[in-house]
Amino acid sequence: MEDANKRLEGRYLMEQSTPQKQGTSTNPLCNTKTGTGGTGTETPYMVCVWKDVFATYVKLTDTTTGKILAQVYDQDFQKASSKFFSKVGEVLPGKKIGIDLPMPITPDN
């Protein structure tokens, strides 16, 4: 189990170093607007969600600088979202997902 976790972590880090691939999905679900399903105001941030056979990945990027502000992965979308919300709160205190920042879009199963 520990060996499998190390391989998964190594794979995740390798995928993050090649952002054009973004996991095994060639079409991540990205959103730059607030509100449910991107129905609100445009923000200078982009949240992308994708999944593969191992996990769901969520990443927040500042579109003005291209800097990744927060990224997480977990086998379960709900757990990944919870971790993501916590991480965003640490790096952008006072900003709220869905109000000031884009909402992650749930990937299809």
> What distance in Å separates the CA atoms of residue 52 and residue 47, rounded to the nearest whole number?
17
Q: Which fold has domain 2-91?
A: Viral Envelope Glycoprotein; domain 2 (3.30.67)
pLDDT of 2-31, one tens digit each? 554 444 455 444 444 444 333 345 678 899
pTM of the entire predicted model? 0.71
Secondary structure element (H or E) that encloses residue 49, with its range: strand 42-51
> What distance in Å separates the CA atoms of residue 30 and residue 66, rounded to the nearest whole number?
14
Run means of pLDDT, 10 residues per run, the chain, 109 residues: 50 44 62 82 93 88 96 90 93 92 79
- Hey, what are 64's tokens? 């003005």
The residue extents of the domains of the chain are 2-91
